[in-house]
Amino acid sequence: MSALVIDSLTVVFGAFQALDSLSLAVDSGEVRAVIGPNGAGKTTLLDAITGITRPKSGRILLGDTQDLTTLSEARIARAGVRRKFQKPSVFPALTVRENLSLGCGPECPARERAARVAATLTETGLEARADALAGSLAHGEKQWLEIGMVLASEPRVILLDEPVAGLSDAETERTIELIGALRRPDRAILVIEHDMAFVEAVADRVTVLHEGRTLFEGGMAGARADARVIEVFLGR
Ligand code: ADP
Ligand code: MG
pLDDT by position in tens, the chain (length 236): 899 999 999 999 999 999 999 999 999 999 999 999 999 999 999 999 999 999 999 999 999 889 999 999 999 999 999 998 777 689 999 999 999 999 998 889 999 999 999 999 999 999 999 999 999 999 899 999 999 999 999 999 999 999 998 899 999 999 999 998 889 999 999 999 999 999 999 999 999 999 999 999 999 999 999 999 999 988 86
Residue nearest to atom 25 of ligand 1 (CA): 13
Q: How far is the CA of 106 from the centre of ligand 2 (A)?
A: 30
Residue nearest to atom 16 of ligand 1 (CA): 39
Tell me how crowded residue 173 is: count the other CB atoms within 10 A of its CB.
14
Q: Among 86, 37, 33, 26, which residue's Cα sits nearest to residue 232?
A: 37
Q: How far is the CA of 128 from the centre of ligand 2 (A)?
A: 33
Q: Among 61, 26, 68, which residue's Cα sits nearest to residue 207?
A: 26
Model pLDDT, residue 236: 67
Model pLDDT, residue 8: 98
Q: How far is the CA of 42 from the centre of ligand 1 (A)?
A: 8
Q: How far is the CA of 16 from the centre of ligand 1 (A)?
A: 9
Residue nearest to atom 24 of ligand 1 (CA): 13
Residue 172 CA, chain-centre distance (Å), reads 16
Model pLDDT, residue 115: 96
CB 100 within 8 A of CB 120: yes
Q: How far is the CA of 72 from the centre of ligand 2 (A)?
A: 22
Model pLDDT, residue 154: 93
Q: Among 121, 119, 113, 161, which residue's Cα sits nearest to residue 141?
A: 121
Residue nearest to atom 15 of ligand 1 (CA): 39
Cα-Cα-Cα-Cα dihedral sign, residues 10, 70, 88, 141: negative
> Phi and psi dihedrals of 78, rounded to 5?
-65, -25
Residues in contact with ligand 1 by the CB-under-6-Å rule are: 13, 16, 18, 36, 38-44
Model pLDDT, residue 235: 80
Residue nearest to atom 5 of ligand 1 (CA): 41
Q: What is the DSSP letter of 233?
A: I
**CB neighbour list of residue 62: distance below 8 Å, 6 or more residues apart:** 3, 4, 68, 79, 80, 81, 156, 157
Strand 157-161 to 57-62 pairing:
unpaired
